[in-house]
């Protein structure tokens, strides 16, 4: 079973909240959900829409048709009519407009109900939610409960007020459209699950990974991470700083990380551009840092509330000079949890910046994630701070014999923060430990941190930092996951990050018409281990690159790093996420 | 006992006669007299001749980017508020490239001490004009004389919310040590603007120039009086330079207002959070 419900209306009419409540209702009943939003960069006016796909099996991409369209205005019908079928239900108020077309018309008197209950026009969404629930065969109690939770801080009066509108919408359907009711929202509860957006998943995983400092400047579509972590900070103890600009953001986090707190920053392309100089600072000072980069279409301000995968090559090349940097790009909420938590460990182990790439589609769409998955993940996750050590660890006999420069004239010794090692990683003593000192230096430096301009020492430090890349590729790089059988496949898709859901859905549809496909999904994007990936690219197969950008940036990266050219490309760059149908139709 | 020798790093590479020598000695002396050690303070250096002190002062330190020492310092303080944090920066560094950070760090009353080497030129890049230069100052980047009026850092700090605003002269070492000590002891954002001749690239603002124009604050000066402080601070614009604590007030520092740090434990030392159930509720 799969069913798509969509609500649309003017910005400012509570479309986002209503959509999320619908997703949560479906999730509580046991269905898997996938939802996404469409909105302009405006607070009032303009068209907002929220689409929820529910299914009894895993779902991570939209369906081609809308089964129930809730119109809070005529615009909604006009904009989405092309995706209606004759069986589609369309909820609207005939007092607002006459719905014309070949679909099931369900008129709900929003305006009359609002007048009767003396409420503001914004209550249209609550009426529509009640009507939707009735039309899809759900019990009213589940909506009642959510309303109670939503408004529990505002008192009984507000709760009852909201319930009235929802109930009137619900009753209108029961009385007037009993034959149109479809048994969609019947309880099938199997396991507890959460409704998580990509940004929620990043936030949650940051807490799981014991991130103690998050610094950001608001920028769509990364802003909700700042709001979420800030709202939790008294509970979690994390310090969340909204700094004056992104340059301050990343430099604050470099300071807190230097002092020993796991630290992260979050932004989108423009803010990331401002951070680039300091990414190099983290690189040469070997300071751990997690950077959350949620892409939107650029260049410059671009299309702030839409989606694109246009910053891959920018991210991997961000920062002047040569230094190790790890770039990861999860494909869905579960991967966001896994890779975010891993990113904090990698940043500490390799003492270098790690970038987690998302985009508006992944950041703001919601996914069902089983609570069992999260609890198991938490139980199995351990914080690995790599070679970060405390004073008492210095007595450990496993340490190198010499870890400081002896200062004859003082009881304070210069710790060798940048000691040359085989794996490229040096011991990191946190500032404040008695008896030692060192500097983290943005200039090229000696093992003890002091500035140098000598050729040999420069080369030694460059080589040391570069060896971290080799160590990472050996110990932590993961080859792309392959969905399907490469040997049997007629077509092999190649993509990265958030396009995962659409490609897997396309594979399912193609399988129904006996087309066998495979899919190579990259989420450990940089650096790449050529010898570990080569075998995935067979000479006699048809490979198709799928990306949400106009350059095919993963294609360029694969060409550069492993010398493989994928000639067939399906690229989308109109600000909208590529859909399974678009992939199939482009073959 | 910690002695000044404990802070002595590599021999300085500053020009003979440069004000940095005196500032370096004053900072080390102040730290020694206050009983700090290279292990109990963190210094963040900007880029410039002032920032080159990184190699001459033994301490936990970051030699940062040009203009970015202040946000680094804020991050360190928030992560481990038991550390005393100094930002040792230049005029172009702090008032030019990092001007935005300076204003907002004042607003936040972050508990850091910012020591600005104000020589009115860019020394390390061999003599371009700085934001504090007098209007008309001729330099490599302004051969016809700078058109902008000078920035008044003391007034800017006061109106932006800094709670300790002071000025000293590199030629008056004893006062410099005393004021730096008071700035370090102050709870909240403290600024020490150090007037400093650049013997190589500034032939106008020399030792002689300053000696003729500096003045000590009146004994009756009340640093808590903001109006009076602003009046005195702005005399810079008439090329008269007040020395001493121009403004000081007692306010809670940024980290003292964070509920997360109420227990007194530092951010890095508190136990790990593990009540995930409380967070899951938001997503069901």
Say yes or no: A441 and A554 in one domain.
no
Q: What is the chain B residue with the closest CA to A450? A: B55
CB pairs under 8 A, 24+ apart, for A428-431?
A428/A286, A428/A351, A428/A386, A428/A387, A428/A388, A428/A389, A429/A389, A429/A390, A429/A391, A429/A394, A430/A259, A430/A260, A430/A388, A430/A390, A430/B268, A431/A258, A431/A259, A431/A260, A431/B42, A431/B60, A431/B76, A431/B80, A431/B83
Q: Do B65 and A281 touch (CB under 8 A)?
A: yes
Would you state the torsion angle of the CA atoms of residues B18, B19, B20, B24, taken in this order, to the nearest 10 degrees?
130
**Token pair in block for residue A358:** 């998302």
How do the domains of chain B map onto residue ranges? 4-257
Which of A160, A190, A220 is at the close of a domain? A190
Residue A116: give its domain's CATH number.
Answer: 3.40.920.10
Say yes or no: A448 and A521 in one domain.
no
Say yes or no: A25 and A143 in one domain.
yes
Q: Would you call A391 an interface residue with chain B, using a CB distance cutoff of 8 Å?
A: no
Shortest distance, CA B97 to any CA of chain A (angstroms): 11
ipTM of predicted assembly, 2 dp: 0.98
Say yes or no: A93 and A123 in one domain.
yes
Chain A and chain B share a number of CB contacts under 8 A equal to 205
How does strand B190-195 pair with strand B113-118? parallel
CA atoms A132, A135, A138, A140: torsion sign: positive
Residue A509: give its domain's CATH number.
Answer: 3.40.50.920
Concatenating the DSSP letter of every residue in B156-191 gives HHHHHT-SEEEEEETT-HHHHHHHHHHHHHSSS-EE
Rounded to whole angstroms, how far apart are CA atoms A508 and A492? 13
Which residues between 54 and 73 in chain B have a beta carbon less than 8 angstroms from any beta carbon of chain A? Answer: 54-55, 58-65, 68, 70-73
Which of A475, A505, A530 is at the close of a domain? A475
How much of chain B exceeds pLDDT 90, in percent?
96
Say yes or no: A369 and A402 in one domain.
no
- Nearest residue, CB atoms, A252 vs list B6, B58, B75: B75
Shortest distance, CA A354 to any CA of chain B (angstroms): 19
The average pLDDT across B6-20 equals: 93
Q: How many CB atoms lie within 10 A of CB A550?
A: 14
Query: Domain total for chain A?
Result: 4
CA atoms A337, A342, A344, A345: torsion sign: positive
Name residues whose C-beta falls within 8 Å of residue A370's C-beta, 6 or more positions apart in sequence.
A191, A192, A193, A194
Say yes or no: A184 and A205 in one domain.
no
Q: B99 near B55, Cβ under 8 Å?
A: no
Residue A306: give its domain's CATH number.
Answer: 3.40.50.970
Per residue in B184-243, pLDDT (tens digit) is: 999 999 999 999 999 999 999 999 999 999 999 999 999 999 999 999 999 988 999 999
Q: Do B283 and A255 touch (CB under 8 A)?
A: no
Q: Would you call B8 an interface residue with chain A, using a CB distance cutoff of 8 Å?
A: yes
Q: Which CATH class is domain B4-257?
A: alpha beta
DSSP reduced 3-state for A437:
strand
Q: What is the chain B residue with the closest CA to A277? A: B65
Per-residue pLDDT of chain A (587 residues; tens, 9 = 90+): 999 999 999 988 999 999 999 999 999 999 999 999 998 877 777 899 999 999 999 999 999 999 999 999 999 999 999 999 999 999 999 999 999 999 999 999 999 999 999 999 999 999 999 999 999 999 999 999 999 999 999 999 999 999 999 999 999 999 999 999 999 999 997 789 999 999 999 999 999 999 999 999 999 999 999 999 999 999 999 999 999 999 999 999 999 999 999 999 999 999 999 999 999 999 999 999 999 999 999 999 999 999 999 999 999 999 999 999 999 999 999 999 999 999 999 999 999 999 999 999 999 999 999 999 999 999 999 999 999 998 888 887 677 778 998 888 899 999 999 999 999 999 999 999 999 999 999 999 999 999 999 999 999 999 999 999 999 999 999 999 999 999 999 999 999 999 999 999 999 999 999 999 999 999 999 999 999 999 999 989 999 999 999 999 999 999 999 999 999 999 999 999 999 999 999 99
Say yes or no: A533 and A555 in one domain.
yes
Q: Would you call A281 an interface residue with chain B, using a CB distance cutoff of 8 Å?
A: yes
Give the residue ranges of DSSP H helices in chain B.
4-7, 19-33, 69-79, 91, 99-108, 153-160, 173-185, 207-213, 226-233, 277-280
- Nearest residue, CB atoms, B267 vs list A27, A212, A431: A212
The separation between CA A126 and the C-alpha centre of its own chain, rounded to angstroms, equals 28
Q: What is the chain A residue with the closest CA to B10? A: A450
Say yes or no: A365 and A393 in one domain.
no
Say yes or no: A183 and A309 in one domain.
no
Name residues whose C-beta falls within 8 Å of residue A149's C-beta, 6 or more positions apart in sequence.
none
Rounded to whole angstroms, how far apart are CA atoms B63 and A281? 10
**Token pair in block for residue A284:** 């040469």
pLDDT of residue A228: 98
Q: B84 near B42, Cβ under 8 Å?
A: yes
The average pLDDT across B56-85 equals: 98
Single out the residue of A475, A450, A449, A252 nearest to residue A350, CA to CA: A475
Say yes or no: A207 and A286 in one domain.
yes
Say yes or no: A438 and A574 in one domain.
no
Q: What is the chain B residue with the closest CA to A23? A: B284
3-state secondary structure B143-157: CCCCCCCCCCHHHHH
Rounded to whole angstroms, how far apart are CA atoms A107 and A176? 9
Q: Which residues of B touch A443 (CB under 8 A)?
A: 63
Which of A380, A412, A440 is at the close of a domain? A380
Which residues between 312 and 351 in chain A have a beta carbon less than 8 angstroms from any beta carbon of chain B? Answer: none
DSSP reduced 3-state for A365:
coil
Q: Would you call B181 an interface residue with chain A, using a CB distance cutoff of 8 Å?
A: no
Rounded to whole angstroms, how far apart are CA atoms B154 and B140? 27
Rounded to whole angstroms, how far apart are CA atoms B269 and A237? 11
Rounded to whole angstroms, how far apart are CA atoms A357 and A341? 14
**Token pair in block for residue B86:** 């100094």
Domain housing A168? 2-190
Say yes or no: A158 and A181 in one domain.
yes
């Amino acid at each position: 079973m799969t069913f798509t419900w969509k609500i649309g209306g003017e910005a400012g009419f509570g479309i986002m909240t209503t959509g999320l409540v619908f997703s949560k209702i479906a999730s509580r009943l046991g269905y898997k959900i996938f939802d996404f939003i469409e909105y302009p960069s405006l607070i009032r006016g303009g068209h907002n829409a929220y689409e929820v796909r529910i299914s009894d099996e895993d779902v991570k991409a939209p369906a081609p048709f809308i089964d129930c369209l809730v119109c809070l205005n005529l615009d909604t019908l006009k904009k989405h009519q092309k995706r209606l079928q004759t069986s589609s239900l369309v909820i609207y108020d005939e007092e607002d407009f006459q719905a014309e077309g070949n679909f099931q018309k369900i008129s709900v008197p929003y305006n009359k109900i609002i007048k009767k209950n003396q409420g503001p026009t914004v209550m249209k969404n609550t009426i529509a939610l009640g009507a939707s629930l009735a039309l899809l065969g759900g019990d009213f109690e589940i909506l009642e409960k959510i309303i109670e939770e939503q408004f529990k801080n505002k008192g009984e009066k507000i709760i009852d007020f909201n319930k009235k509108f929802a109930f009137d919408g619900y009753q209108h359907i029961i009385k007037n459209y009993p034959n149109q009711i479809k048994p969609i929202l019947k309880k099938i509860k199997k396991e507890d699950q959460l409704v998580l957006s990509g940004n929620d998943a990043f936030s949650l995983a940051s807490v799981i990974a014991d991130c103690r400092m998050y610094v950001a400047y608001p920028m769509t579509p990364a802003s909700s991470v700042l709001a979420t972590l800030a709202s939790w900070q008294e509970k979690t103890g994390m310090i969340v700083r909204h700094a004056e600009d992104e340059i301050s953001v990343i430099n604050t986090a470099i300071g807190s990380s230097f002092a020993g707190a796991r630290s992260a920053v979050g932004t989108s392309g423009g803010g990331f551009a401002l951070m680039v100089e300091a990414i190099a600072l983290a690189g040469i000072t070997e300071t751990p840092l997690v950077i959350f980069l949620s892409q939107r279409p650029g260049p410059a301000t671009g299309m702030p509330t839409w989606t694109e995968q246009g910053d891959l090559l920018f991210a991997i090349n961000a920062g002047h000079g040569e230094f190790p940097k790890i770039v990861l790009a999860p494909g869905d909420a579960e991967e966001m949890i896994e890779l975010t938590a891993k990113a904090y460990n990698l940043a500490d182990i390799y003492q270098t910046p790690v970038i987690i790439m998302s985009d508006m589609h992944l950041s703001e769409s919601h996914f069902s994630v089983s609570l069992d998955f999260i609890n198991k993940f938490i139980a199995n996750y351990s914080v690995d701070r790599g070679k970060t050590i405390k004073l008492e660890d210095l007595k450990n006999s496993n340490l190198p014999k010499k870890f400081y420069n002896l200062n004859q004239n003082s009881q304070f010794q210069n710790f060798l923060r940048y000691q040359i090692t085989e794996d490229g990683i040096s011991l990191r003593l946190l500032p404040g430990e008695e008896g030692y000192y060192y500097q983290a230096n943005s200039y090229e430096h000696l093992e003890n941190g002091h500035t140098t301009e000598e050729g040999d020492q420069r080369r030694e430090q460059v080589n040391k930092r570069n060896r971290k890349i080799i160590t990472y590729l050996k110990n932590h790089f993961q080859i792309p996951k392959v969905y399907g059988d490469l040997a049997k496949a007629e077509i092999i898709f190649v993509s990265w990050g958030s396009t995962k859901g659409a490609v897997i859905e396309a594979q399912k549809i193609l399988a129904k018409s006996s087309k066998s496909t495979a899919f190579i999904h990259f989420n450990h994007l940089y650096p790449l281990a050529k010898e570990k990936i080569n075998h995935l690219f067979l000479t006699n197969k048809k490979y198709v690159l799928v990306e949400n950008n106009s350059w095919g940036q993963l294609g360029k990266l694969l060409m550069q790093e492993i010398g493989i050219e994928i000639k067939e490309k399906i690229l989308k760059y109109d600000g909208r996420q590529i859909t399974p149908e678009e992939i199939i139709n482009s073959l | 006992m910690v002695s000044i020798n404990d802070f002595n790093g590599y021999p300085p590479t500053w020009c003979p006669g440069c004000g940095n020598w005196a500032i370096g000695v004053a900072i080390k002396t102040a730290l020694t007299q206050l009983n700090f050690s290279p292990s109990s303070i963190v210094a963040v250096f900007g880029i410039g001749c002032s920032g080159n002190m990184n190699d001459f002062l033994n301490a936990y330190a970051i030699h940062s980017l040009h203009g970015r020492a202040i946000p680094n310092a804020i991050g360190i303080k928030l992560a481990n508020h038991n550390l005393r944090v100094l930002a040792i920066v230049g005029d172009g560094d702090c008032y030019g490239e990092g001007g935005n950070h300076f204003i907002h760090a004042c607003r936040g009353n972050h508990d850091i001490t910012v020591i600005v080497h104000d020589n009115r030129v860019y020394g390390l890049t061999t003599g371009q004009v700085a934001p504090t230069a007098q209007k008309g100052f001729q330099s490599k980047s302004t051969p016809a004389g700078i058109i902008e009026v000078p920035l008044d850092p003391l007034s800017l700090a006061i109106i932006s919310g800094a709670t300790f605003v002071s000025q000293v002269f590199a030629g008056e070492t004893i006062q410099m040590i005393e004021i730096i000590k008071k700035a370090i002891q102050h709870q909240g954002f403290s600024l020490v603007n150090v007037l400093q001749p650049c013997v190589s690239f500034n032939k106008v603002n020399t030792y002689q120039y300053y000696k003729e124009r500096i003045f000590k604050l009146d004994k009756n000066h009340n640093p808590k009086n903001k109006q009076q402080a602003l009046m005195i601070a702005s005399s810079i614009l008439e090329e008269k330079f007040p020395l001493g604590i121009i403004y000081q007030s007692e306010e809670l520092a940024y980290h003292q207002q964070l509920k997360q740090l109420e227990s007194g434990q530092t951010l890095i030392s508190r136990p790990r959070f593990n009540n995930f159930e409380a967070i899951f509720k938001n997503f069901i």
